[in-house]
Amino acid sequence: MAPAISGGEPKGQRLGVNLLFGALLFVVVGSLAGEWMSIQHKLGNLWFWFGTQGYEYVDLGRFWQILLFLGLTFWLWLMWRALKPALAKRDHSHSLLLMFLLASVAIPLFYAAGLMYGQRSNLVTVEYWRWWVVHLWVEGFFEVFATVVIAFLLTRLKLLSLPTATRAVMFSTAVFLSGGIIGTFHHLYFAGTPNIVLGLGSVFSALEVVPLVLIGFEAWENIRLARAREQHVWVTAYKWPIYFFVAVAFWNFVGAGLFGFLINPPIALYYMQGLNTTPLHGHTALFGVYGMLGLGLMLFCLRALRPGQAWKNGPLAFAFWTINGGLAAMVVFSLLPIGLMQTWASVEYGTWYARSAEFLHSGHMNELRWMRMIGDTIFAVGALVLGWFVLGLLTGHSYDKRGYVVEGEWEVRSRETVIGGRH
């Protein structure tokens, strides 16, 4: 992203990026191996440092956690040195760039909150800091980061003007952070905290839905604008990367906004904590928002990396609709009905019953669980096709020989125009 913003790369950046990739691989493989060994009781007293800490989302051992933090700091340094020339220019993109830099600083900084507790800390203390990492990342700084990145790309594609983008980003950031920071308390309603936490948490986390709705409308507006200009320059070469960004807005609204809100009021969570309504929200928000964002950014970078032959849109369109449709089918046909039935059981008899094997294997519950096969299969097929497409960018089977994309431009030209013109 950084070269797309500053127009070039500082010396040695390639080496840095490759090093970072190697380091990430080391941490992922090392921590997974450690977790496995720890669970197999092969690590003895070293479990906390090299094995699993046993906390969801910060499972990895402390040693790996520190390495990951150092890696994120190194990533921040790489970002900074690449953005420095653009920052020095002080043109109208300055405010947006500063936001980008701030969001980038927040990512390693708030991961560090996961280092605030020790092996023998009280569970309540651990939960408190753990949610700093999990919640503040996904509902605070990642949201800001995602909004800024997408705004930058849309301005580069001339779908959005810089002043409009800057205003929208500033406004959403203010609302995201004012809701998101105190909103962290929605994970601590019943964690032995004082009553005030319940009140503050529920009010501020409810506010988080506001920017999610606005961003949804914003994305829809952009698509409409782009379509209206279709006769001129519809961004044909970037259509599918942009569609993935629209999917981000959609799942932000449905997964984070709607399904998050469903379990968010204290009275709802009193009955529904840890039922299937939680993965309903977790899958649609986490994959829907950050998974789709990752795929969109990947496609965007791949497209900009190597201008030249146009892409075959068929496999991309197929992957887009199956990945999104599969995710929707998985939650609608399985997680949502199971979650709602569990909610009924929890209100009627209690959480112990809603989560018991006795209830989960009664009536139609087994069939509903197996219904996941449908959505999961559709999703998996989409993922395979996308993988096959990306592979084809190396081997050549993903290119459409009839079209051509010129560096720095966003529409596909037909071969004849290019041959008759420049070549």
Interface contacts to ligand HEM, rule CB under 6 A: 56, 138-139, 186-187, 205, 208-209, 252, 256, 260-261, 263-264, 269, 273-274, 278, 281-282, 285-286, 289
Residue pair 60/30 in contact (Cβ under 8 Å)? The answer is: no
Contact flag: residue 413 with Fe ion (CB under 5 A): no
Q: Judged by CB under 5 A, which of 130, 135, 283, 303 binds Fe ion?
A: 135
Q: Choose among ligand HEM, Fe ion, none what residue 285 binds, the Cβ cut-off being 5 to 8 Å by kind.
A: ligand HEM
Identity of the residue, 135 or 303, whose beta carbon is nearer to Fe ion in the bound complex: 135
Identity of the residue, 211 or 403, whose beta carbon is nearer to ligand HEM in the bound complex: 211
Q: In the bound complex, what is the minimum distance in angstroms from residue 56's beta carbon to ligand HEM? A: 5
Instruction: Name the one range near Fe ion by CB under 5 A: 137-145, 294-302, 315-323, 376-384.
Output: 137-145
Q: In the bound complex, what is the minimum distance in angstroms from residue 280's beta carbon to ligand HEM? A: 10
Q: In the bound complex, what is the minimum distance in angstroms from residue 54's beta carbon to ligand HEM? A: 13
Q: At what angle are helices 313-330 and 292-305 packed, to 10 degrees?
A: 170
Q: In the bound complex, what is the minimum distance in angstroms from residue 275's beta carbon to Fe ion? A: 16
Identity of the residue, 57 or 217, whose beta carbon is nearer to Fe ion in the bound complex: 57
The closest alpha carbon to 266, from 201, 209, 330, 219, belongs to 201
Burial of 408 from C-beta contacts in 10 A (0-12 / 13-18 / 19+): exposed
Q: In the bound complex, what is the minimum distance in angstroms from residue 80's beta carbon to ligand HEM? A: 26
Identity of the residue, 135 or 413, whose beta carbon is nearer to Fe ion in the bound complex: 135
Q: In the bound complex, what is the minimum distance in angstroms from residue 287's beta carbon to ligand HEM? A: 9
Identity of the residue, 205 or 313, whose beta carbon is nearer to ligand HEM in the bound complex: 205
Residue pair 151/165 in contact (Cβ under 8 Å)? The answer is: yes
Identity of the residue, 5 or 289, whose beta carbon is nearer to ligand HEM in the bound complex: 289
H or E segment and range at residue 404: strand 399-405
Number of residues near Fe ion (by CB under 5 A): 2
Q: At what angle are helices 209-228 and 239-251 packed, to 10 degrees?
A: 150
What is the C-alpha to C-alpha distance for residues 215 and 219, in angstroms, rounded to an integer?
6
What is the C-alpha to C-alpha distance for residues 122 and 124, in angstroms, rounded to an integer?
5
Q: Choose among Fe ion, ligand HEM, none what residue 60 binds, the Cβ cut-off being 5 to 8 Å by kind.
A: none
Residue pair 223/246 in contact (Cβ under 8 Å)? The answer is: yes
- State phi, psi for 413 to the nearest 5 degrees: -105, 155
End-to-end C-alpha distance for the chain, whole angstroms: 29
Identity of the residue, 38 or 284, whose beta carbon is nearer to ligand HEM in the bound complex: 284
Identity of the residue, 135 or 283, whose beta carbon is nearer to Fe ion in the bound complex: 135
Identity of the residue, 310 or 354, whose beta carbon is nearer to ligand HEM in the bound complex: 354
Burial of 17 from C-beta contacts in 10 A (0-12 / 13-18 / 19+): middle
Q: In the bound complex, what is the minimum distance in angstroms from residue 232's beta carbon to ligand HEM? A: 34
Q: Choose among Fe ion, ligand HEM, none what residue 264 binds, the Cβ cut-off being 5 to 8 Å by kind.
A: ligand HEM
The closest alpha carbon to 285, from 263, 259, 321, 320, belongs to 259
Q: In the bound complex, what is the minimum distance in angstroms from residue 72's beta carbon to ligand HEM? A: 18
Q: In the bound complex, what is the minimum distance in angstroms from residue 209's beta carbon to ligand HEM? A: 5
CA distance readout (Å), 228 to 121, 232, 233: 58, 9, 10
Strand partners for 400: 310
What is the C-alpha to C-alpha distance for residues 221 and 56, in angstroms, rounded to an integer?
38
Residue pair 355/342 in contact (Cβ under 8 Å)? The answer is: yes
Instruction: Name the one range near Fe ion by CB under 5 A: 129-137, 279-287, 332-340, 396-404.
Output: 129-137
Instruction: Name the one range near Fe ion by CB under 5 A: 135-143, 209-217, 290-298, 370-378.
Output: 135-143
Instruction: Name the one range near Fe ion by CB under 5 A: 78-86, 131-139, 377-385, 398-406.
Output: 131-139
* Cα 62–Cα 63–Cα 65 angle in degrees, nearest 5: 60
Neighbour count for residue 10 (Cβ, 10 Å):
16
Identity of the residue, 139 or 143, whose beta carbon is nearer to Fe ion in the bound complex: 139
In the complex, residue closest to ligand HEM by CB: 260
Q: In the bound complex, what is the minimum distance in angstroms from residue 44's beta carbon to ligand HEM? A: 28
Sorted by sequence, the CB contacts under 8 Å of residue 31 that are 6+ apart come out as 59, 60, 61, 64, 68
The closest alpha carbon to 165, from 224, 255, 100, 115, belongs to 100
Q: Which residues bind Fe ion (CB under 5 A)?
A: 135, 139
